[in-house]
């Protein structure tokens, strides 16, 4: 499985080169790899359908316990097949659709990388791996949506999609980590096997909310739905892929994955059912209002996503089966419809349904497959979409009162699908050819192959023409099993007697037909509704972003004053508070129990240091300050000598000398101290307070350190080994050049860099003229 | 540059003494107080003194090589001293492991000993001299 | 002695922080010198202070016989002093060059990187703000 994912990423990296070498049929070549992987995954149909779960695990970040763990069960296999299978056709389709586009190679790179990310996501068993792939899909989809980056609206949509899904991604990460902590395992299988009931855990609610935020943003549930229709700015193959098999399905996948762990509680059921139904209704109604073919389809995707979320939420046995069936049905027809819509756009130059009619004469092939897919979307027998709808109603009816409420909403939502199906097929293809249809032309095989296969599959599955043990019942049963966490079986059938579900279906179809026939009226009604409600999340988005920008600007203005000493004030205040706070909160204030011995010589030096320090602060002239500093430095040197550190003492002495030399060299060219340049009285008082606080904290820390016994292991080692191992009697020097020679090498490198830095600052003036050595200089 | 006759005369006498002393400090550093850092600083002070008395040009002449070359030579010496460990008996030891050449007298007393840590200290000496003289010299040339 | 030094170091740190908060960069520089001196003393003090007794192994001995001054802090301080000097020289030259180019030692008036006039508002909503051209 790792090989499969890696192969796709490698393919992505190679794609631009392949395209450059064989521009005219690169898409066929590139599609071979996902096709092969699809076939490879298909070989698992038998075992997985029989209930087997294939796993693979490779240590990734062993120190953190993060593994590249993969797992293939029914749910993963269905998704993997959809991703690679539809992906194959998408790659082929892009070749025809983007033919001659200057960045076609780059496009292949993005979309194949996206495929790899999505595949990794659905195969991941380790939840950190899952999250990494989750974020990868956000990033790659950002690149894809913003593919036409010269277009401002594309850029806006891409950023919007990225921000919304990345926001959700952050929430998801927090949720997954909490989940891992609560369950004591960071693999999905481990969490399921742990036997810990997360639902009863104290962290259940936070985990639930965070994971739902992640899933809802990704799967565009109301109120995070706005990015999805905007993402239509992407090239059509991207839309087809994003909507049918990938990206938005990631959230739905995650919910299904989490169902055995988090599901079947009241919160879960009601939240998911409510959000799902509202999203489905909203999507369905908005679809009818739209005139752009792609927008219509985008809103129907919202409807499908809402439906899937709702089904996971209901959690009844039939709902689980319906999830499996509807997921597959939707992927098939949505992929076909988007590609078909793209072909119409490609052939006529417009996607506006108001300008399209009578295309049938010119685009028969596309028309046939759009019709097949649209019928499946409409949920009419004998198509697979119909079976999906039957299961859906059955599942809702099982869910009691809540289910009845949901049914009411879903009847309308499903009816709108019929209307939308009419919009995408009936309206453009029948009737008198419009102006746009006059010069329409059919695309090449790369443009209709995808829709053909996908739409036909929808019909074939509906008729039961495909052996059910394999692709049909076996796989879908395994999917339902993954969802429920216990064995489940799916029997696909078209006719199942006179059941309530069938009755609801009939009502739905009637209502849908009515909607389509009275489309004008429905639209007017919806427009009125939209005006009345004035809910425009998309516009609100702009306000939120503008607000964020304003806050950022205000914060920057307040904190980034551009004044060095303001930053210093913040820094020192922060350090003082953190150190002092830690001392206070952790009982860090310790006093040495016994008074260590003192010496008069030492106290004399210490007194000189204090005098020198005070002198430096109070010095009214630069020379006085330097002399005071020297007093400090020299008394420290003497202190070192007295306290058994002759090497350090001599070093300090030499450095003191050099310091005075270089300061004096520069001093002549700098202006003298002036009165009042140290700030107002208030500022000086503030600085003084910070300084005293910092000094006090330092003293407190030192006292605490002195109070605990010294740790002398290392010192003892040096004392014993210095001569025996290092052949040196001066232990300090042996430490410097032998025991810690590597450190010393680093330290002399710093000296070297400082020397060269000074040289560079003074010698290399980047071609500027020297601005005189007189005090004053030029103004910048 | 300070045109002080006393300073110039004193410096002329001191400079040789200081430089020899610096080398002496470097050499004995392994067993007595001293070493590359201290020796280097003393030498740097000597050069700075010379510069103050006679000017940057004279100082540069006394130094023979460009300070940058000295820095480079010092760093190279230090790094090379660490490479000996790779070829020592007993297989490649970690970088910077000390390697010693020691002669023993007939009675088994330790005689002459030299090892890579001493070489390393020479590198430190050179870097310190080069680095500080580079600073002092470029500041002096500002005048 | 360690307790005395704890207070002396506290005073030196306070003094250096006060200087670091000045507007005049030369005073800031003096603060840097004072701070590095204080820190060196900290290292020596927390390693324990022993009067006399440098860590030298006697001519007859093979190991350093207690009592002795702790050699480890000394080794650390020794390099710290030299590096501190390197840092100081570099900072001093930076201040000097800054004065040459900008004509002031007042850090408040050195505003090349962050000019007084707030830059124009970031680009509006949705669009990533254009990277501002380097000043």
Which residues in C lie closer than 8 A to residue B132 (C-beta atoms)? 85, 89
Q: What's the whole-number mean pLDDT along residues A364-377? A: 86
pLDDT tens-digit profile of A569-606? Answer: 989 999 999 999 998 888 878 887 777 778 888 899 99
User: Is the Cα torsion angle A321, A327, A328, A333 positive or negative in sign?
Assistant: positive
Most distant CA atoms of chain A, gap in Å: 112
Hunting for tokens 């605490």 — which residue is that? Answer: A704
Q: Rg for chain B (alpha carbons), in Å?
A: 18
pLDDT tens-digit profile of A373-426? Answer: 888 888 887 888 888 888 888 888 888 788 888 888 888 888 888 888 888 888
pLDDT over threshold 70, residue B55: yes
**Could you count the other beta carbons within 10 Å of the beta carbon of residue C43?**
17
- β-pairing, B110-115 vs A66-72, is unpaired
DSSP state letter for A710:
P
Tokens representing A219? 């799967």
Tokens representing A615? 């002198």
pLDDT tens-digit profile of A263-288? Answer: 888 888 889 989 999 899 888 888 88
Confidence of residue A427 (pLDDT cuts 50, 70, 90): confident
Cβ A719 vs Cβ C64: under 8 Å: yes
Instruction: Determine contact: A752 vs chain B, CB below 8 A.
Output: yes
pLDDT over threshold 70, residue A435: yes
For A290, half-sphere exposure in the C-beta direction (CA atoms, 13 angstrom radius) is 26
d(CA B125, CA B71): 9
Question: Which one of C21, C66, C103 has the shortest CB-CB distance to A690?
Answer: C21
Residue A454: enclosing H or E segment and its boundaries? helix A445-463
Percent of chain A clearing pLDDT 90 (strictly above): 19
pLDDT of residue A557: 79
Confidence of residue C33 (pLDDT cuts 50, 70, 90): very high
Q: What's the whole-number mean pLDDT along residues A692-702? A: 94
Tell me the pTM.
0.67
pLDDT of residue B110: 61
Confidence of residue A444 (pLDDT cuts 50, 70, 90): confident
pLDDT over threshold 50, residue A195: yes
pLDDT over threshold 60, residue A162: yes
Percent of chain B clearing pLDDT 90 (strictly above): 28
Least confidently predicted of A500-514, A619-633, A668-682:
A668-682
Least confidently predicted of A53-57, A626-630, A650-654:
A53-57
Average pLDDT, rounded, for chain A: 84
pLDDT of residue A776: 40
pLDDT of residue A535: 61
Confidence of residue A229 (pLDDT cuts 50, 70, 90): confident
pLDDT tens-digit profile of C65-107? Answer: 778 888 889 999 998 999 999 999 999 999 998 888 888 888 7
pLDDT of residue C124: 41
CA distance readout (Å), A442 to A92, A95, A363, A364, A433? 16, 15, 5, 8, 15
Q: Which of A220-234, C13-27, C57-71, C107-121 has the highest average model confidence (pLDDT)?
A: C13-27
pLDDT over threshold 60, residue B67: yes
pLDDT over threshold 70, residue A467: no
Cβ A695 vs Cβ C13: under 8 Å: yes
Query: Residues A631, A635, A636, CA angle at the centre, nearest 5°?
Result: 115
pLDDT over threshold 50, residue A770: no
Least confidently predicted of A246-250, A669-673, B37-41, B96-100:
B96-100
Return the residue in B25, B39, B127, B131 with the most chain A beta carbons within 10 A, the one to mutate for interface testing: B131
Nearest of C93, B120, B93 to residue A747 by alpha carbon = B120
pLDDT of residue A677: 67
Nearest CA in chain B to A733: B30
Please judge whether B33 and C89 are an interchain contact, meaning their C-beta atoms are less than 8 angstroms apart: no
pLDDT of residue A388: 83
Confidence of residue C113 (pLDDT cuts 50, 70, 90): low
Residue A67: enclosing H or E segment and its boundaries? strand A66-72
d(CA A239, CA A229): 10
CA distance readout (Å), A431 to A356, A358, A361, B129? 10, 5, 10, 94
Q: How would you classify residue A26: left for phi > 0, otherwise alpha for psi between -120 and 50, otherwise beta? A: alpha
Chain A neighbours (≥3 Cβ pairs under 8 A) are: B, C
Question: Which one of B42, B79, B113 has the shortest CB-CB distance to A654?
Answer: B42
Least confidently predicted of A579-583, B128-132, C112-116:
C112-116
pLDDT of residue B83: 83
pLDDT of residue A555: 86
Q: What's the whole-number mean pLDDT along residues A728-754? A: 88
Question: Which one of A650, A661, A752 has the shortest CB-CB distance to B75?
Answer: A752
Residue with the bigger pLDDT between B143 and A538: it is A538
Cβ A673 vs Cβ A620: under 8 Å: yes
pLDDT over threshold 50, residue A166: yes
Confidence of residue A680 (pLDDT cuts 50, 70, 90): confident
User: How long, in residues, is chain C?
Assistant: 135
pLDDT tens-digit profile of A494-512? Answer: 666 677 778 888 888 888 8
Q: For residue C11, tell me if it sits in a domain.
A: yes
pLDDT of residue B62: 85
d(CA A234, CA B117): 65
3-class SS of residue A197: coil
Instruction: Determine contact: A771 vs chain B, CB below 8 A.
Output: no
**How far from chain centre, in Å, is Cα A626?**
56
Provide the domain count of chain C.
1
d(CA A193, CA A231): 39
d(CA C84, CA A725): 31
Q: For residue C81, tell me if it sits in a domain.
A: yes
pLDDT over threshold 60, residue C129: no
Please judge whether C56 and B32 are an interchain contact, meaning their C-beta atoms are less than 8 angstroms apart: yes
Phi, psi for A226 (deg, rounded to 5): -65, -25
Confidence of residue B143 (pLDDT cuts 50, 70, 90): low
Q: For residue C58, tell me if it sits in a domain.
A: no
pLDDT over threshold 60, residue A468: no
Separation in Å, CA of A26 to nearest CA in chain C: 34
pLDDT of residue B91: 65
Hunting for tokens 């689980």 — which residue is that? Answer: A320
pLDDT of residue C65: 79
pLDDT over threshold 70, residue A116: yes
Please judge whether C56 and B31 are an interchain contact, meaning their C-beta atoms are less than 8 angstroms apart: yes
Which residues in B lie closer than 8 A to residue C85 (C-beta atoms)? 132
pLDDT of residue A778: 40
Nearest CA in chain A to B120: A737
Please judge whether B134 and A658 are an interchain contact, meaning their C-beta atoms are less than 8 angstroms apart: no
User: Is the Cα torsion angle B117, B123, B125, B127 positive or negative in sign?
Assistant: negative
Return the residue in A635, A708, A719 with the most chain C beta carbons within 10 A, the one to mutate for interface testing: A719
Instruction: Determine contact: A529 vs chain B, CB below 8 A.
Output: no
Please judge whether A703 and C93 are an interchain contact, meaning their C-beta atoms are less than 8 angstroms apart: no
DSSP state letter for A774:
S
Please judge whether A596 and C37 are an interchain contact, meaning their C-beta atoms are less than 8 angstroms apart: no
pLDDT over threshold 60, residue C128: no
Please judge whether A159 and C127 are an interchain contact, meaning their C-beta atoms are less than 8 angstroms apart: yes
Nearest CA in chain A to C49: A643
d(CA C61, CA C66): 12
Cβ A300 vs Cβ A284: under 8 Å: yes
In this structure, CATH architecture of domain A564-728: Up-down Bundle (1.20)
Q: What's the whole-number mean pLDDT along residues A728-750? A: 87
d(CA C18, CA A683): 11
Tokens representing C58? 């006697």
Please judge whether A658 and B71 are an interchain contact, meaning their C-beta atoms are less than 8 angstroms apart: no
Separation in Å, CA of A132 to nearest CA in chain B: 38
Confidence of residue B46 (pLDDT cuts 50, 70, 90): very high
pLDDT of residue A544: 86
Least confidently predicted of A363-367, A497-501, A652-656, B57-61:
A497-501
pLDDT over threshold 60, residue A766: no
For A302, half-sphere exposure in the C-beta direction (CA atoms, 13 angstrom radius) is 35
pLDDT of residue C131: 42
User: Is the Cα torsion angle A685, A686, A688, A693 positive or negative in sign?
Assistant: positive
CATH number at residue C95: 1.10.287.3510
**How far from chain centre, in Å, is Cα A240?**
21
Least confidently predicted of A456-465, A535-544, C119-128:
C119-128
Separation in Å, CA of A751 to nearest CA in chain B: 6
Cβ A245 vs Cβ A335: under 8 Å: yes
Which residues in B lie closer than 8 A to residue C93 (C-beta atoms)? 135, 138-139
pLDDT of residue A533: 61
Please judge whether B139 and C78 are an interchain contact, meaning their C-beta atoms are less than 8 angstroms apart: no
pLDDT of residue C55: 84
């Amino acid at each position: 499985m790792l090989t499969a994912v890696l192969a796709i990423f490698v393919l992505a990296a190679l794609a631009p080169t392949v395209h450059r070498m064989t521009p005219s049929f690169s898409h066929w070549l590139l599609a071979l790899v996902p096709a092969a992987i699809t076939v490879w995954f298909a070989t698992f149909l038998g075992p997985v359908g029989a209930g087997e779960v294939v796993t693979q695990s490779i240590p990734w970040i062993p120190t953190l316990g993060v593994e590249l763990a993969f797992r293939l069960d029914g749910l993963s296999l269905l998704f993997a097949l959809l991703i690679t299978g539809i992906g194959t056709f998408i790659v082929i389709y892009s070749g025809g659709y983007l033919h001659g586009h200057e960045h076609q190679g780059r496009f292949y790179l993005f979309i194949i990388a996206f495929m790899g990310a999505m595949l990794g996501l659905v195969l991941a068993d380790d939840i950190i791996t899952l999250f990494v792939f989750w974020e990868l899909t956000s990033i790659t989809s950002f690149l894809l949506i913003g593919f036409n980056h010269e277009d401002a609206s594309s850029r806006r949509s891409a950023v919007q999609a990225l921000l919304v899904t990345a926001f959700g991604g952050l929430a998801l990460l927090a949720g997954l980590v909490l989940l891992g902590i609560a369950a004591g395992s960071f693999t999905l299988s481990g969490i399921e096997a742990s036997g810990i009931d997360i639902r009863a855990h104290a962290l259940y609610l936070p985990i639930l909310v965070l994971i739902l935020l992640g899933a809802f943003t990704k799967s565009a549930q109301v109120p995070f739905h706005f990015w999805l229709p905007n993402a239509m700015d992407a090239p059509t193959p991207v839309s087809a892929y994003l909507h049918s098999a990938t990206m938005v399905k990631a959230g739905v996948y995650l919910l299904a994955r989490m169902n055995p762990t988090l599901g079947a509680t009241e919160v879960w059921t009601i939240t998911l059912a409510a959000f799902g139904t509202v999203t489905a209704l909203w999507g369905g109604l908005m679809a009818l209002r739209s005139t752009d073919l792609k927008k219509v389809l985008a809103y129907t995707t919202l409807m499908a996503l809402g439906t899937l979320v709702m089904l996971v939420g209901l959690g009844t046995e039939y709902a689980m089966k319906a999830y499996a069936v509807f997921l597959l049905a939707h992927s098939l027809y949505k992929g076909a419809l988007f590609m078909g819509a793209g072909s119409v756009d490609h052939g006529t130059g417009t996607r506006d349904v108001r300008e399209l009619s009578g295309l049938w004469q010119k685009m028969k092939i596309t028309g046939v497959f759009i019709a097949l897919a649209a019928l499946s979307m409409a949920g009419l027998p004998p198509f697979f979409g119909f079976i999906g709808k039957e299961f859906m109603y059955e599942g809702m009816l099982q869910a009691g009162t809540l289910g009845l409420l949901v049914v009411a909403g879903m009847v309308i939502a499903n009816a709108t699908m019929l209307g939308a199906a009419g919009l995408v097929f009936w309206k453009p293809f029948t009737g008198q050819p419009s102006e746009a249809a006059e010069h329409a032309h059919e695309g090449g095989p790369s443009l209709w192959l995808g829709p053909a296969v996908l739409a036909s599959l929808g019909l074939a599955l509906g008729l039961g023409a495909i052996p059910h043990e394999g692709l049909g019942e076996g796989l879908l049963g395994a999917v339902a099993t993954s969802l429920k966490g216990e064995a489940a079986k799916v029997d696909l059938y078209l006719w199942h007697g006179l059941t309530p579900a069938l009755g609801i279906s009939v009502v739905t179809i009637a209502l849908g037909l009515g909607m389509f026939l009275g489309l004008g009226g429905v639209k007017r009604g919806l427009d009125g509704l939209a005006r009345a409600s004035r809910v425009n999340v998309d516009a609100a988005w702009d306000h939120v972003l503008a607000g964020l920008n304003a806050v950022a600007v205000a914060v920057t203005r307040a904190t980034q004053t551009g004044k060095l000493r303001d930053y210093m004030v913040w820094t020192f205040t922060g350090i003082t508070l953190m150190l002092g706070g830690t001392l206070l909160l952790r009982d860090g204030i310790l006093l040495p129990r016994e008074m260590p011995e003192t010496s008069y010589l030492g106290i004399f030096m210490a007194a000189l240091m204090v005098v020198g320090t005070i002198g430096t602060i109070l010095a009214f002239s630069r020379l006085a300050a330097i002399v005071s500093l020297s007093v400090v430095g020299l008394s420290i040197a003497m202190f070192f000598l007295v306290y058994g550190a002759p090497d350090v003492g001599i070093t300090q002495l030499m450095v003191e000398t050099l310091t005075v030399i270089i300061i004096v060299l520069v001093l002549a060219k700098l202006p003298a101290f002036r009165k009042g340049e140290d700030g107002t009285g208030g500022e000086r008082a503030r600085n003084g307070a910070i300084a005293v606080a910092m000094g006090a904290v330092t003293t407190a820390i030192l006292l605490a350190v002195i109070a605990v016994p010294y740790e002398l292991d290392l010192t003892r080692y040096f004392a014993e080994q210095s001569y025996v191992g290092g052949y040196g009697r001066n232990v300090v020097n042996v430490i410097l050049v032998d025991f810690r020679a590597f450190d010393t090498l680093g330290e002399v490198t710093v000296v070297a860099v400082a020397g060269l830095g000074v040289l560079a600052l003074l010698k290399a003036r980047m071609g500027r003229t020297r601005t005189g050595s007189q005090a004053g200089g030029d103004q910048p | 540059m300070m045109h002080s006759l006393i300073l110039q005369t004193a410096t002329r006498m001191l400079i040789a003494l200081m430089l020899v002393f610096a080398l002496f400090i470097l050499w004995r550093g392994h067993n007595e107080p001293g070493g590359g850092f201290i020796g280097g600083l003393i030498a740097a002070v000597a050069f700075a003194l010379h510069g103050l008395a006679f000017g940057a040009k004279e100082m540069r002449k006394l130094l023979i090589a460009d300070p940058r070359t000295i820095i480079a030579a010092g760093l190279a010496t230090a790094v090379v001293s660490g490479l000996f460990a790779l070829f020592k008996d007993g297989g490649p030891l970690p970088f910077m492991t000390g390697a010693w050449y020691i002669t023993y007298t007939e009675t088994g007393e330790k005689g002459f000993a030299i090892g890579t840590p001493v070489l390393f200290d020479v590198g430190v000496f050179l870097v310190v001299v080069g680095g500080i003289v580079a600073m002092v010299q470029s500041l002096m040339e500002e005048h | 002695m360690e307790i005395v030094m704890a207070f002396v170091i506290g005073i030196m740190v306070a003094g250096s922080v006060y200087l670091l908060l000045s507007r005049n960069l030369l005073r800031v520089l003096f603060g840097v010198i004072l701070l590095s001196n204080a820190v060196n003393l900290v290292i020596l003090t927390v390693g324990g202070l022993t009067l006399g007794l440098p860590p030298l192994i006697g001519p007859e001995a093979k190991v350093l016989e207690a009592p002795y001054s702790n050699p480890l802090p000394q080794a650390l301080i020794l390099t710290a002093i030299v590096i501190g000097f390197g840092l100081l020289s570099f900072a001093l030259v930076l201040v000097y060059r800054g004065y040459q180019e900008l004509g002031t030692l007042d850090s408040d008036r050195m505003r090349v990187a962050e000019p007084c006039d707030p830059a124009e508002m970031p680009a509006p909503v949705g669009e990533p703000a254009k990277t501002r051209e380097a000043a």
